[in-house]
Structure 1
């Protein structure tokens, strides 16, 4: 990992300097500094400086059946956790997209996403409910979900536990803003591959995953420059890469929202 690589992934000099001051100096040649300590300082910095937005990485189509076909509403979304902070408008329409992992055909007690017979809250918008398994359209393999049909609660009387991020069609029949997202992770599965006899076998096959088409809210198409940093709600911190073009933005993941690196996973 080089400083140039860290910079391209959106790591700030402030976070690096804070990390260096925190670890101090040691005379031992055998000490190992866990990557999670650097990531902690990166999160602390970006939590204060990166505005929030919504992007769906693995979209599945959701149709709100009791929504007027041509109705477009604007929801007030917050750029910062403070309720009085700056906001931006997010359009919601009859057709929207959620993460594929936020829906299951079989529900469980520890699952807070959407499922047949269960409700979930669209962040900044309204509760939705998939009434029945019959409202799920499957592909020919009878496994892949193509479309989920739901009903929304306009009076917001439902109080679901699960909250989902989403992106809607900005107008009927028009896809949301398409962006490319690169998910970077650690190069090795273990903390110290040098301890292994065959360190090559410890390479992480998912250290870089490219998602060529993710859906983003329209706000991201306005005045965004290379190096700008964002928190994709529920996903992590991301930076605009220099490979971006006027036609399509490219984002690199800087770090996840939480440290998921445990037991070599």
Structure 2
């Protein structure tokens, strides 16, 4: 659908209404604000595409701001991975910023709030504070320190900053309303003591701002016009606005928070805590394991970034959460790869095929197309010889008329090569077929222009010349979980639903052109699936991972 004809989503309606009411287009500014405490996952792609998409639509800058307020869980590794993910998705941010850039300003504003009677130092434990908040259906209990003198709170806050108290000894709380039905407004904690080094500021700070205090104020400092976040923060909006009221200057842009539904995809989990557990308990090999729903994992698996963006575009921007079928994502992956992946021949469960009437030392190089869906993809040469490998499942000694692959007395065409007819087999002591013997029709070579080459047979098989075969390790990935919503059952541990068949590793053979394959480049192993070369590959052990199967019965509405 053309961009100009595409209906506006509700966020675009909000922006258009603001512009119609006099808000200057030059003041539009957006941001993507990840916390650097893990790798980005499929759910984050929606927020990324929304914010950067709006930036592209309105010609407005988009900041990448790391909300790095919790040194216990944040690492530079996560910062680097997030930047790599955004770049891979094809987006460019205006500025790279951090909440830690504003720690001094946030502290000074907090001091002013104490002076204004809007904040106080509480010496209760976090458990006591939680208990006093009660529930939305009953009034909370005020802290015994809520009305302590301003000078006393100022002195204690200064000592908190200087590191004179242990962790948990006290905190700074906003003084709002302990009877509010919105639990976020019941005197939320603004600062806590954390004697932990920060990945950017080192040991400078002994107190750190809570996310709710730092987030909105960082938006304000950066003059973000529209602060977009997932629906779980809807109940935080009154607090976001209350904090903003304490510092807002009428001469500046007042940032506006609006929420959209987060994206849940079947057979995937997006809880960072649960993803961390998968890594910690070695259920996967790391954050970028191809079975993980992380952007790094999807990149390593071979998902094209345009396929992910097309998926997000189709899902759209909604106000209510729902479960998106993973098959829709896989559909866009296949649709993209079908147009871009080079067709190659590889055999993942090989059995030897000997062409008895082909010269013993014979060798020829045959032309084959790189991608029939791309007229500019060209062609390449593949070697053919007397001994080949074909897929074991492509042969049966005896089979009915509906088996269109190779059988004794039956004919098939070898892709881009000749028609062959199976004659006999060798078996080992267990009855397993070790070698198939066949004869070829030398006049039937594809593209030779002869009458024999034009005759039709119902089956076409892929193959690899044994003499030229490239040994490869093939990783067959499947979904990580056996159920569409592995973390939906509160009574059950999501780890119980791990799929024991999510990874199978087999040894196969591929045509020699794959020796020059680039890591991450897309390939279609003909009649098998879409694959990509994995970063684990070495000169001695080439590794290819399956991105997706070929067949797709799913059709999006």
Structure 1 window deviating more from structure 2 (235-244 vs 80-89): it is: 80-89
| Structure 1 residue 200 displacement after superposition | 5.6
Answer yes or no: is 1:117 the counterpart of 2:117: no
Aligned partners of 2:340 and 2:371 also within 8 Å: no
Give the match for residue 482 of structure 2: 189
| Structure 1 residue 120 displacement after superposition | 0.9
| Structure 1 residue 254 displacement after superposition | 0.8
Structure 1 window deviating more from structure 2 (49-58 vs 84-93): it is: 84-93
| Matches of 2:295 and 2:485, distance apart in 1 | 20
Structure 1 window deviating more from structure 2 (187-196 vs 38-47): it is: 187-196
Q: Which runs of 5+ in 1 are unaligned?
A: none
| Matches of 2:299 and 2:360, distance apart in 1 | 45
| Matches of 1:205 and 1:110, distance apart in 2 | 33
Pick aligned residue for 1:138 from 409, 424, 427? 427
Select the structure that is richer in strand.
Answer: 1
Aligned partners of 1:55 and 1:214 also within 8 Å: yes
Aligned partners of 2:523 and 2:530 also within 8 Å: yes
Answer yes or no: is 1:155 the counterpart of 2:155: no
Give the match for residue 214 of structure 1: 508
* Aligned CA-pair RMSD: 2.0
| Structure 1 residue 46 displacement after superposition | 1.3
Relative to the length of structure 2, the TM-score reads: 0.43
Aligned partners of 2:357 and 2:440 also within 8 Å: yes
Pick aligned residue for 2:342 from 51, 55, 71? 51
Secondary structure of 2:382's aligned partner: strand
Q: CA 1:38–1:160 in 2, change beyond 3 Å: closer, same or farther?
A: same
Give the match for residue 128 of structure 2: none
| Structure 1 residue 83 displacement after superposition | 9.0
Give the match for residue 531 of structure 2: 238
Secondary structure of 1:63's aligned partner: strand
Aligned partners of 2:339 and 2:374 also within 8 Å: no
| Matches of 1:72 and 1:9, distance apart in 2 | 35
Secondary structure of 1:73's aligned partner: strand
Structure 1 window deviating more from structure 2 (236-245 vs 82-91): it is: 82-91
Relative to the length of structure 1, the TM-score reads: 0.87
Give the match for residue 325 of structure 2: 34
Aligned residues: 250
Give the match for residue 204 of structure 1: 499
Aligned partners of 1:127 and 1:159 also within 8 Å: no
Aligned partners of 1:188 and 1:202 also within 8 Å: yes
Structure with higher Rg: it is 2
Q: CA 1:152–1:75 in 2, change beyond 3 Å: closer, same or farther?
A: same
Pick aligned residue for 2:379 from 74, 81, 87? 87
Give the match for residue 364 of structure 2: 73
| Structure 1 residue 10 displacement after superposition | 0.8
| Structure 1 residue 201 displacement after superposition | 5.8
Q: Which runs of 5+ in 2 are unaligned?
A: 1-292, 445-451
Residues 95-142 of structure 1, C-alpha deviation per residue, up to 9 Å, x if partnerless?
0000001001221222111011111110000011113xxx11111012
Select the structure that is richer in helix.
Answer: 2
| Matches of 2:500 and 2:318, distance apart in 1 | 33
Residues 169-224 of structure 1, C-alpha deviation per residue, up to 9 Å, x if partnerless?
23xxxx6111111111112334344567766665432211111x2101011113x2
Structure 1 window deviating more from structure 2 (85-94 vs 190-199): it is: 190-199
| Matches of 2:296 and 2:330, distance apart in 1 | 16
Bigger relative contact order, structure 1 or 2, given CA contacts below 8 A and separation 6+? 1
| Matches of 2:440 and 2:346, distance apart in 1 | 21
Residues 19-41 of structure 1, C-alpha deviation per residue, up to 9 Å, x if partnerless?
00101123333x21111100111
